[in-house]
Structure 1
Amino acid sequence: MDLTTLCVHGAEDNTHCTGSVTVPIYQAATFAHPGVGESTGYDYSRLQNPTREQVEKIIAKLEKGVDALAFSSGMAATTALMELFKIGDHIIVSDDLYGGSHRLFHYISMKNGLFFSFVNTSNISEVIKHIRKETKAIYIETPTNPMMQVTDIAAISKIAKENNLLLIVDNTFLTPYFQNPIDLGADIVLHSGTKYLSGHNDTLSGFLVVRTEELSEKLRFIYKTTGACLSPFDSWLMIRGIKTLAVRMEKQQENAIALANWLCKHPKVQDVYYVGLPTHPDYEISRRQARGFGAMISFKVDSEQTARQILSRVKLILYAESLGGVETLITYPMLQTHADVPQEEREAKGIDERLLRLSVGIEKIDDLILDLEQALCQDKLEIYGCD
């Protein structure tokens, strides 16, 4: 079945007799037993709920895993993932990392006895250099947030397998529509479902998708014990969002390519970071391992004043901290997503006062360009009023 069709029909539940074309919301915390030692398959919603089960099934199908677990947020999924490891374990992590993950690893996981090496995972030799006997996993974002670095998943998978390490891939930016890390050798795929999978900025969720039954069993135990499961209503919202994943991703990518090319030509824009530009250093790797480039763009302007001017003048584009929805959002990473990263470390990665990040939506591209154009004007003019 094609991915587009799977997005629309993959979560259909034919176990009920009403003929409903949408999955019901089973707003139940607990379920009655037919008799002693008997179960309907559902006992308590922290363990499983019929609505949540359907969204987990479709995510597992889309990511080609044996199981998917739905959490109350992306960070809840990442937190549960860290429970696979014990005191003294070492994990190699992409150094250009979502700020929330950075915060979790530095202030919670390290406190709990885990050790991390933050390296440029695009550089294979750097990854190899940091492997030691305590290393248990390699954790990568690709593309990274916010500098859009790309890691060769298959190459890292080869290294992981040679050293008996888990390979964990955050696939939030590209989604299973554009990239399937398990096909490339990943053991666990992580998603902030809040973003593209939901697509409407109206719910929080997170997912872990696993390659093996063994990993499923371990994570299911952690899941039921720690309890950060996705609610029935939010599971239903996720199913609804995924139905349009394919058409949204195609339109958002189309807009992103046009917008990235426009930004490259603007005199006030000094650098554009978008993996779909042939000038991107990882363009060929992206073409090899993914079916698309996504819709995330970061760019640097000529001064902090210009960056703040854009944020205060955009009218159609929304200045907000998230990504992946149908609305185009602009974010100031140094003050928002990466505010908890120490300044020296943040700036060494290029996350400074001139860097902005765009999550490109599905609006008419001409309207997005006109909005950015007026926001970049020297003089303060009405929207679309540059002369």
Structure 2
Amino acid sequence: MSKQFAELKNDRILRAAKGLPVDRPPVWMMRQAGRFLPEYRKVKGDRDFFEICRDPEIASEITIQPILRYEGYIDAAIIFSDILVVPQAMGIDVEMKEGVGPIVPNPLREPADLSRVHKANVARDLDYVFKAITLTRTKLDGKVPLLGFSGGPWTLLVYMSEGGGGAGAGKMFRFAKTWLYQYPKEAHQLLSMTTDVIVEYLILQVKAGAQMLQIFESWAGELAPEEFKEFLLPYSTSIARRVKSGLTKLGLEPVPMTIFAKDAWYALEDLAQSGYDAISLDWRHDPKQARERVGSNVTLQGNLDPGVMYGTRECITRKVETMVKAFGRDRYIVNLGHGTQPSYDPDTVGFFLQEVQRVSKSL
């Protein structure tokens, strides 16, 4: 590591990802930084979302907020940022509208639009992310590992072509599918360009201090199995291979990598062979069946239905017990099946984390 950081006091998640013995399964939550925490809303105020992403000091503060609030109950921090900073670095305008989500004012709709996509200067254009990572790693003082992340190429293509929002146009993903079925050659061109940026982005995150990485393919389940194998899997596999080899060339130790391919239930076997140390599961997977399908050499992460947080405490206890006992202690990272939601009660989240720790210690 080119920078000097404090010795890590809690390496539970790194050990779990590598298949090493742990005293209990580690736990963290996707989107744990921001959203539902009142301290996040106070810090954010009226500022634009991407404005606070670009401020390393604020991004660092938000990253650490859940670690402080739930001290002793969360085993990893994840840097506060967004998957759409990658398209921004490639020349695509992205805005974040309150109550709506990300908006791409001038989406990519036909091959001629690729002229607006340029090769990113990753070190310069995403420098604020790397600064936030280094600052956060220093502030954490070895308390827990720091995770970095990126959106996957297919998911970023969806946002760049659909124009934003929480789903494709009319939830049919018309424009993203047009790239696949009408312009497949150019779709591969865009996916390849995006993959190159992601690889460099992730390598520089590790160089800045990230100790584990996750790829978010949030729209993986919109692909049929054949299209998954053509338009997603080769690029995800390439990212894992190239990031690890790139780190080695820089004299840095490769870090564990996780892939989250939401709703792609049919692809577990392929994902298990794609070079990632861990596979994050959404809540539609049965834990025991997932383990049987991926084998014993891959760590599983997940997969509580985020909606359980709206249930009674008795329900949360029951669901946590069922989930954790089904996955077991080894090669398992406790998480939600997707991200936290803005309407969560922070006290309920705290109860969930306490129950995870209680049940995990009994394994």
| TM bracket (short chain) | under 0.3
Structure with greater Cα Rg: 1
Higher strand fraction (1 or 2): 1
Q: TM-score, normalised by structure 2?
A: 0.25
Higher helix fraction (1 or 2): 2
Q: Which has the higher contact order (CA 8 A, sep 6+)?
A: 2
